[in-house]
């Protein structure tokens, strides 16, 4: 029986640890806005005295890491990620818009969503492409069937290799999903292992997206049961929330079973689509993004932003912010890959955006003045909730009022400061003291209302 040792040296049975873990999840449900299906066992997340370590922080880490690049063939990309509410950053990624040698017209993009540690995700971000290319199935004179088989064998080979390394070097018990796209001059290859997801926007519509590998899917459930496992609480053996992943070797220990017939399979699903001039952009993202926004919503939001913003890094950052304020509790990573047919900035879209922000500014001013007339302090959260209940035309599709949060904050700061500057000046203070106090109060109000401790989520 697996046990945890407390400071008193009293051994705690594993079933009590499980009970403590479930209790922590219930507390998280009430205080963090809902349950989060973690990607792996949290069984070992205990501190030195045996108490439960929460998978969540007291306040989210909002710093973003962004990058961008492109190829000579007119394909541009940007990437952004954020740790968010999770206690560790376990995502990794790879962006290669142009491969080397005879594959200079090929591109490779991947998002790896790690769980129970980051070792597997980081290793795959550095080495998966090499294992795929080593199979010899990827050639300039491409044969789609050979390409797909090479991809599949590359996944199985890196998983075998990591399994040996994990046994020899005492790796952590981590695993990782993988959402990968390989582009050639003729095709787009969509590769998925786990519940990260990739989609293609074509002429303004989602024409393809990968299927999440969940234990409750009939085909996945059948394999798990055939391997001697069960699906409990929508998880593999009540623990792992994905049915396919790289790593997770605790679920791959039946030596006489093939890799693809273990409780958790490292086998990817691979699809190919022919490229067309109407292809606009690809989105690769981990489930921290998809937990908060649907395929069509995200496609529409990104498409609308491309028409008013030529900074692809900023659009990626906007998506992450949107998902955070919609309630995502997970690490978030996104890659947007734009083809030559992607929407471009237009004067008409810019004008509509300017009119929308002017309308929002007027609404914020009305709300602040209304609250002032009632002798109430103009609170930012109240302003945002009031706007959320309004019918405001022209909001970004898929994003709504939540996506205009920065505009609202800017307007609030301006109008709240104006209102406070009209208040009677303290007799004992100078005019300069009053201005400084007003500025400080507005700043404090804004920081308090926008605190990362409680990002606003629409009702």
Quick one: pLDDT at residue 418? 78
Residues 52 and 65 in one domain: no
> Please, which residues have CB within 8 angstroms of residue 138's CB and are 6 or more apart in sequence?
103, 106, 132, 147, 150, 151, 182
Packing angle, helices 405-421 and 380-388, rounded to 10: 130
Quick one: pLDDT at residue 194? 98
Residues 356 and 316 in one domain: no
Residues 25 and 69 in one domain: no
Residues 331 and 275 in one domain: yes
Quick one: pLDDT at residue 169? 85
Residues 281 and 351 in one domain: no
Q: Exposed, middle or buried by CB within 10 Å (0-12, 13-18, 19+), for 58?
A: exposed
The number of distinct structural domains making up the chain is 3
Report the 10 Å Cβ neighbour count for 79: 24
The residue from 24, 39, 56 where one domain ends is 56
Quick one: pLDDT at residue 337? 98
Residue 454 lies in a domain: no
Residues 50 and 67 in one domain: no
pLDDT < 50 stretches in the chain: 1-45, 427-431, 434-459
Residue 120 lies in a domain: yes
The residue from 338, 361, 383 where one domain ends is 338
**Using one digit for the tens of pLDDT, what is the confidence trace for 240-262?**
999 999 999 999 999 899 999 99
Residue 251 lies in a domain: yes
Contact 132, 154 (CB under 8 A): yes
Residue 100 lies in a domain: yes
Domain that holds residue 35: 3-56
C-alpha span between 178 and 156 (Å, rounded)? 13
Statement: the pTM of the whole predicted model exceeds 0.85: no
Quick one: pLDDT at residue 379? 82
Quick one: pLDDT at residue 291? 96
Quick one: pLDDT at residue 181? 98
């Amino acid at each position: 029986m697996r046990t945890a040792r407390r400071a008193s040296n009293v051994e705690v049975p594993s079933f009590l640890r499980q009970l403590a873990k479930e209790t922590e999840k219930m507390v998280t449900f009430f205080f963090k806005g809902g349950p989060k299906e973690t990607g792996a066992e949290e069984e070992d997340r205990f501190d030195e005295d045996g108490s439960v370590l929460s998978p969540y922080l007291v306040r989210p880490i909002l710093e973003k890491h962004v990058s961008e690049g492109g190829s000579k063939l007119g394909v541009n990309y940007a990437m952004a990620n954020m740790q968010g509410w999770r206690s560790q950053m376990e995502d990794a990624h790879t962006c290669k818009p142009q491969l080397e040698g005879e594959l200079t017209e090929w591109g490779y993009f991947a998002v790896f969503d790690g769980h129970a540690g980051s070792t597997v995700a980081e290793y795959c971000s550095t080495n998966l492409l090499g294992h795929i290319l080593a199979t010899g199935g990827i050639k300039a004179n491409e044969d789609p069937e050979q390409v797909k088989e090479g991809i599949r064998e590359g996944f199985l080979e890196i998983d075998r290799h990591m399994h040996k390394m994990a046994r020899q070097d005492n790796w952590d018990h981590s695993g990782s999903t993988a959402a990968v796209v390989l582009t050639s001059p003729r095709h787009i290859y969509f590769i998925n292992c786990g519940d990260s997801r990739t989609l293609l926007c074509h002429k303004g519509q989602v024409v393809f997206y990968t299927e999440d590998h969940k234990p409750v899917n009939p085909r996945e459930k059948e394999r798990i049961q055939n391997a001697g496992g069960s699906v409990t609480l929508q998880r593999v053996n009540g623990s792992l929330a994905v049915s396919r992943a790289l790593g997770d070797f605790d679920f791959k220990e039946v030596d006489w079973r093939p890799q693809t017939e273990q409780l958790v399979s490292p086998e990817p699903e691979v699809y190919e689509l022919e490229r067309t001039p109407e292809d606009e952009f690809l989105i690769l993202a981990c489930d921290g993004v998809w937990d908060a926004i649907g395929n069509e919503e995200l496609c529409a939001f990104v498409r609308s932003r491309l028409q008013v913003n030529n900074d692809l890094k900023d659009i990626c950052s906007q998506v992450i912010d949107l998902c955070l304020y919609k309630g995502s509790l997970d690490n978030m990573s996104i890659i947007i890959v734009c083809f030559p047919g992607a929407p471009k900035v237009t004067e008409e879209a810019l004008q509509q955006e300017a009119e929308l922000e002017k309308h929002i500014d007027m609404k914020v001013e009305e709300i602040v003045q209304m609250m002032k007339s009632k002798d109430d302090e103009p609170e930012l959260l109240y302003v945002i909730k009031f706007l959320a209940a309004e019918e405001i035309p022209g909001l970004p599709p898929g994003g709504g009022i939540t996506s205009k949060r920065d505009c609202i904050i800017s307007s609030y700061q301006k109008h709240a400061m104006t209102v406070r500057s009209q208040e009677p000046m303290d007799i004992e203070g100078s005019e300069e003291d009053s201005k400084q106090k007003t500025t400080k109060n507005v700043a404090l109000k804004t920081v308090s209302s926008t605190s990362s401790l409680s990002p606003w989520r629409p009702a």
